[in-house]
């Protein structure tokens, strides 16, 4: 028995592909949607191979409401959506802000419009980011959902802040809409099958793909951007979370939305979204391990986990980077029954095993 049909936008992307697998294995029928702007077509076949059966897929640009609307017309029995379709690199967003605002915001507006226009129950899990917190004050570390949202340091982060505002306003306006926003920290690693993983185009914008490409000899060396931050070893600190653990949280979030009574009382602990929280149809969760790991600690952890030497150099600070941030994930554990508990050595080894297949 299927638990219902879920629309998955950005389905061929890094987190989307892993979530596709986990949703299907949890008993949902999934309709994947992607335009392959920043992903590869063979990912769909790889997912089918992992699952052992063909999957449902529609090629469409979510920022084109006509094309996106055809997906809804064909799959009128969708009961929920997980929305990943967005550009995601902090550095690129500084160079191409209009691309980020146009793609990330318009695709979300189209999704809300199409999900709510006929008055049917609409459930959306939104792919948000810890960048909505900006650079948190040290007294707010580890960062909880009730921490103040500071001005983001990048157009990428600002687009996520705007998207959350749009969703919380929409929850107030549309009584048939429920939303769960998941604020990710730093997803890394690859599926245990080594059939899917992070595959950036061109020079990687994220740390771990650059690490694995350097270890594989594709890059001459790894640049560590800054060793003069106010941290124990001078490098930035992040909360690195295994992508499979992260994907499983989306299953928990969909389960919650489909199972919740919309009028159930909700703890109001997101100060920016008090009115939305009062509806009982708006919730926010941090997804992280609860532990901060510096860039240099990750680099040395990779070498220890794989036995591969990794040449690296210290480079100047990179514009838009936050000094340190890690999650307080207790709300997700308490309300979703979810925890990220895969050891970092295992996660880094999965990334290396994936790199060796490329």
Residue 293's SS3 state is strand
Distance CA 296, CA 311 (A): 12
Query: Is the four-CA dihedral 271, 286, 205, 230 of positive or negative sign?
Result: positive
Residue 266's SS3 state is coil
Q: Could you confirm whether 285 is annotated as catalytic?
A: no
* Among 223, 227, 244, CA closest to 236: 227
**334 CB contacts (<8 Å, ≥6 apart)?**
none
Active-site residue, from 133, 156, 229, 273: 156
Query: What are the E-state strand segments in 211-329?
Result: 222-225, 237-238, 240-242, 282-287, 293-294, 312-315
Question: What's the Rg (C-alpha) of the chain?
Answer: 19
Distance CA 86, CA 37 (A): 10
Q: Which residues are catalytic?
A: 156
């Amino acid at each position: 028995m299927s638990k219902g049909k879920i629309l998955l936008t950005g389905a061929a992307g890094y987190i989307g592909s892993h979530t596709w697998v986990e949703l299907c294995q949890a008993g949902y029928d999934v309709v994947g949607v992607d335009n392959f702007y920043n992903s590869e077509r063979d990912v769909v076949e790889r997912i089918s191979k992992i699952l052992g059966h063909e999957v449902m897929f529609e090629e469409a640009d979510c920022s084109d409401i006509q094309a996106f609307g055809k997906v809804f017309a064909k799959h009128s029995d969708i009961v929920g959506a997980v929305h990943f379709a967005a550009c995601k690199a902090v550095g690129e967003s500084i160079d191409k802000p209009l691309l980020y605002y146009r793609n990330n915001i318009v695709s979300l507006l189209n999704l809300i419009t199409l999900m709510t226009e006929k008055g049917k129950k609409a459930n959306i899990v939104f792919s948000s980011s810890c960048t909505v917190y900006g650079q948190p004050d040290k007294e707010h570390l580890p960062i909880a959902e009730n921490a103040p949202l500071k001005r983001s340091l990048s157009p990428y982060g600002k687009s996520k802040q705007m998207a959350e505002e749009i969703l919380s306003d929409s929850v107030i306006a549309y009584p048939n809409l429920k939303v769960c926003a998941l604020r990710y920290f730093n997803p890394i690693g690859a599926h245990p099958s080594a059939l899917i993983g992070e595959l950036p185009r061109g020079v990687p914008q994220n740390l771990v793909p650059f690490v694995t490409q350097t270890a594989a000899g594709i890059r001459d060396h790894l640049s560590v951007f800054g060793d003069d931050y106010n941290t124990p070893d001078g490098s930035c600190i992040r909360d690195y979370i295994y992508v499979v653990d992260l994907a499983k949280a989306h299953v928990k979030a969909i389960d919650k939305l489909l199972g919740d009574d919309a009028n159930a009382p909700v703890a109001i602990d997101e100060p920016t979204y008090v009115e939305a929280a009062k509806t009982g149809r708006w919730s926010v969760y941090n997804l992280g391990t609860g532990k901060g790991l510096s860039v240099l600690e990750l680099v040395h952890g990779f070498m220890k986990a794989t036995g591969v030497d990794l040449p690296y150099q210290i480079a100047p600070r990179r514009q838009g980077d936050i000094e340190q941030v890690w999650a307080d994930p207790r709300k997700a554990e308490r309300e979703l029954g979810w925890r990220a508990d895969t050891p970092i050595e295992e996660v880094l080894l999965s990334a290396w095993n994936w790199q060796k297949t490329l």
